[in-house]
A and B are shown apart, each in its own frame.
Chain A
Amino acid sequence: MRCNMNGLLEIQELTVKRGSFLLEHINFSLQENEIFSIIGKTGSGKTLLLEAIAGFYQPDQGKVLYGGTAMCEIPAFQRNIGYLYQDYSLFPHMTAFSNIAYGPKMRGVSKAEIQTGVTEIAEQLEIRHILNQYPGTLSGGEQQRVALARALIMRPSLLLLDEPFSALDPVTKRSMYDMIRKIRKDFGCSLVFVTHNFTEAESLADRIGVLIDGHLCGIVKSQDLYSAQWGREVLDFLGITEKDGRDCRDERGTL
């Protein structure tokens, strides 16, 4: 069933229960070509929210509308979204080339087109030299690029990233920030990424949502993260003392 909606993705009163954890009454929409970040402590439900957006779970209440259709009603293979897990989830029995070629192969693209497509995207993401290697022999940064290439070769309208930078060293992190900006520019897709690092959310996202214990406490433009009128829980999470509004983050910008 198609519904009227605002933007590429609209989440309406989304409630998902997994075990004893409850993600409650989540509302937000995502515009085309927007980068949206969800920040929150470990265990606040960020990954669950991202997986619910991807349609891996049937909502207990509410809807995730994607292009006007409930995400769960679209078969997984027709969703046209990319998902990057924190551990990249590359297929361990396939080379980097086969990982990237997997999507087009499943869609019945010809071998010649797959070869061209994989080579092109590998050049864009600077991973052409590792195409014949298995995931186990790649560094974290290389694995991430392969996983990104595997998702991007399908030209998704929406890319969901689960803590994409948490396992990377500072130098690789910085190059991946540039890569994300480049992906937005070159592929024109919208991105939602979850993180517990305020600095990367601030520097990459257009808007940020703060998730505390399964509740979306608010959404602000990234430049307003520290100046917005937050409740006590968010102020505690952001490390701002309520008394003087002073920024108490440590040097790395993380809790």
Chain B
Amino acid sequence: MKRREHNAFQSACVFLTLLTILFIGGNIAVIAFRGIRSLPECLHQRETLFAVYLSVKSACISSILCFVLSIAVSYVLTKTRLFCREAIEILLELTMSLPNIVLGLSMLILFSSPMGKALKGAGFPVVFNSSGIVLAQLVVNLPFAVKLTSTAFREVDQKLERVAGLLGATQGKCFFTILLPLCKNALISAFILVWSRALGEFGATLMLVGVTRMKTETLPASIYLDVSTNDLGGALASAFILLLISAVSLGIANHFAKANRSLSRYEM
């Protein structure tokens, strides 16, 4: 009787798994099969090439900025005694659970204030400007990057850092000689994931910089514009490019994450 119950439960789980794969796989298959057909034609269009260039460029800049900041924040959160650590963690998690469009709205208000105008006067326009794309991607990805880097830092055995300290390493030296090499692969993997997310960011970007052809047109924005103008082929081609980049970056990220697991204690 128990065995039959066990089998029924397992069969139900397998059925639901197949249903999930079918649902997700179906979406990917639509983009892959229909997008690839429109791709050759779209690759010759200036708009598509501009969107790819702007997306990759802004994703690279925002991911580097995001990582520098997230490493500093994660170090403070995981390695120092901070009385308000929990409050900072809650704040970061809160922004992570907010819709991107809300974050974009708050940034729009912030950078439309006298401070934003002063920034514009100083030669750094944010609102409705391509530099705003970097900031939108940054604000959306920062909590996510902090989460990933904090996890990577926490996975390094604290005893190693204590021993390094007793052997004469200052905190800075300990960071560069022990912590960073030991979570190098996890950080690379996290960077790629953050970059991939930045590439696909749309909500916050839409609110802060709008969608203007050949000005603030990232790949997701290009999809939005193409659908708005009834150019389904163009939208699917841009979606296919995004799918391709995401698949490659996910593969690389998984490779580094796997390498990091094998680097963990005494498995070199």
Q: Chain A: residues with CB nearer than 8 A to chain B? A: 54, 56, 76-77, 79, 81-83, 85, 87, 89-93, 102-103, 106-107, 134-137, 150-151, 154
Return the contact of B265 from the options A79, A81, A92, A106 (Cβ within 8 A).
A92
| B163 located at the interface, meaning its Cβ lies under 8 Å from any Cβ of chain A in the complex | yes
Instruction: Apart from A77-B169, A92-B267, list 15 A-B contacts with CB within 8 A.
Output: A56-B162, A83-B162, A83-B163, A89-B160, A89-B162, A91-B160, A92-B182, A92-B268, A93-B263, A102-B167, A102-B177, A106-B173, A107-B168, A137-B268, A150-B167
| B157 located at the interface, meaning its Cβ lies under 8 Å from any Cβ of chain A in the complex | yes
Query: Roughly how many angstroms separate A89 CA and B164 CA in the complex, as a whole number?
Result: 10
B-side contacts of A54, CB under 8 Å: 162, 166
B-side contacts of A87, CB under 8 Å: 159
Query: Roughly how many angstroms separate A116 CA and B6 CA in the complex, as a whole number?
Result: 65
B residues 205-241 in Cβ contact with A at 8 Å: none
Query: Roughly how many angstroms separate A76 CA and B163 CA in the complex, as a whole number?
Result: 9
Question: Can you name the residue of chain A whose Cβ is closest to the Cβ of B182?
Answer: A93
What 0/1 pattern do residues 251 to 264 of B give for CB contact below 8 A with A?
00000000000011
| B99 located at the interface, meaning its Cβ lies under 8 Å from any Cβ of chain A in the complex | no
A-side contacts of B163, CB under 8 Å: 83, 85, 89, 150
The count of A-to-B residue pairs whose CB atoms sit within 8 angstroms is 67
B159 engages A85 (CB within 8 Å) = yes
A-B contact pairs, 15 of them (CB 8 A): A54-B166, A77-B165, A77-B168, A77-B170, A81-B166, A83-B162, A89-B163, A90-B266, A91-B160, A92-B267, A134-B268, A135-B266, A137-B268, A150-B163, A151-B167
Smallest CB–CB gap between A251 and chain B, Å? 32
Q: Chain B: residues with CB nearer than 8 A to chain A? A: 157, 159-160, 162-170, 173, 177-178, 181-182, 263-268
B-side contacts of A150, CB under 8 Å: 163, 167
A-side contacts of B267, CB under 8 Å: 92, 136
Q: A89-B160, A93-B263 are in contact. Are A135 and B167 (CB under 8 A)?
A: no
Query: Roughly how many angstroms separate A83 CA and B167 CA in the complex, as a whole number?
Result: 9
Closest 10 CB pairs of A and B: A76-B165, A103-B167, A106-B168, A136-B266, A134-B268, A89-B159, A77-B168, A136-B268, A106-B169, A107-B168
Query: Roughly how many angstroms separate A125 CA and B258 CA in the complex, as a whole number?
Result: 36
Smallest CB–CB gap between A109 and chain B, Å? 10
Return the contact of A102 from the options B159, B164, B181, B264 (Cβ within 8 A).
B164
Smallest CB–CB gap between B79 and chain A, Å? 13
Smallest CB–CB gap between A193 and chain B, Å? 16
B-side contacts of A134, CB under 8 Å: 268
Question: Can you name the residue of chain B whose Cβ is closest to the Cβ of A137?
Answer: B268
A83 engages B268 (CB within 8 Å) = no
Query: Roughly how many angstroms separate A102 CA and B169 CA in the complex, as a whole number?
Result: 9
Return the contact of B166 from the options A83, A91, A92, A137 (Cβ within 8 A).
A83
Query: Roughly how many angstroms separate A9 CA and B267 CA in the complex, as a whole number?
Result: 37
A76 engages B266 (CB within 8 Å) = no
A-side contacts of B162, CB under 8 Å: 54, 56, 76, 83, 89
A76 engages B268 (CB within 8 Å) = no
Query: Roughly how many angstroms separate A107 CA and B164 CA in the complex, as a whole number?
Result: 11
